[in-house]
Structure 1
Amino acid sequence: MSPFSDFLRSFRLSNEIPQAELADLMGCNQTFISALENGVRSRPSKDFVDKFVSVFDLTEAETLHLYEVYEASNNTIMLDPALSQDAFRMFHELREKMADLAPIQVKLMRDIVTMKDHINEPQTKARIIRRRNVSG
């Protein structure tokens, strides 16, 4: 299930809104809402998301979260033609094996991808504490 699917379903259930009512509010049919929630249909258009924000008068934090899950649910990856051959091969291998990856493998790959964000952070130097030689 995509992050958007999870958000939509959780939002609807926590606000006790039936699928049919949500569909009416959004100007679509109930089967579309069901398909979005179950991941049968990929993420909706940005217009749908904009309308959702407006219809439910989301807070700024809720809106930011919704757009984050919307972007995270993009299932189409366009590779930059300037990428290295190794990068193209990596994406191919990932696409081939994605469904079989264990959760720990996914977590490790996400950690590796975000590692560069932390490489340039200033490192704190360890302080050396010298002991005084006390003779008695």
Structure 2
Amino acid sequence: MTPFGEAVRKLRAERGITQKEMAAELGVSAAYLSALEHGQRSEPSWQLVQRIIGFFNIIWDEAEELQRLAALSRPKIVIDARALTPRAAILANRLAEVYPDLGEDELSEIEALLDAKSGEPSGR
């Protein structure tokens, strides 16, 4: 499940709305909404995110957070290694190999390094 999918599912559950009901209101299939919630579809379009924000009638910080989570929710990440140094390309490939096996502590360490580098907290 992606951060965006998890957030949408939580909003939907809090309001007691089924996937079928929400999908009908958004003009998408229930299967598509289910796949989006489970991270089996690509990052949602800006238009769909706006429709979801309107559907839940959320504003300001909560709407911005949902937009941020949508941008962080690409189920398949691609890194263009052509722009990387050889060492960085090797590291990116190694990370791709081992990330499914990383534990919470290891993920937290990597997250802290990325937060320090970017100056912004991650999508936790």
TM-score class, shorter: 0.7 to 0.9
Question: Structure 1 or 2: larger helix share?
Answer: 2
Q: Which amino acid aligns with 2:92?
A: F
**Residue type at the aligned position of 1:85:** P
Structure 1 runs not aligned, ≥5 long: 119-136
Q: CA RMSD in A?
A: 1.8
Verify the 8 A CA contact 2:11 2:56 in the aligned structure 1.
no
Amino acid aligned to 2:8? L
Q: Deviations over 1:30-87 (max 9, x none)?
A: 1111112222323322221122123333211111110111111123334374322111
* Range that drifts further, 44-53 or 97-106: 44-53
| Correspondence for 1:112 | 113
Amino acid at match of 1:92: N
Distance in 2 (CA, whole Å) between partners of 1:6 and 1:21 is 18
Matches within 5 A, 1:42-53: 42-53=42-53
What amino acid does structure 2 have at the position aligned with 1:4? Answer: F
**Under a length normalisation based on structure 2, what TM-score does the superposition of the two structures give?**
0.83
Aligned length: 118
3-state SS of paired residue (2:42): coil
With normalisation by structure 1, the TM-score equals 0.77
Q: Spell out the pairing of 1:1-136 with structure 2 (5 A cutoff).
A: 1-74=1-74, 75-79=76-80, 81-116=82-117
| Higher alpha-carbon deviation: 50-59 or 98-107 | 50-59
Deviates more, 1:75-84 or 1:43-52: 75-84
Q: Percent identity?
A: 27
CA distance in 1, matches of 2:50, 2:118: 30
Q: 1:18 to 1:91 in 2, by over 3 A?
A: same
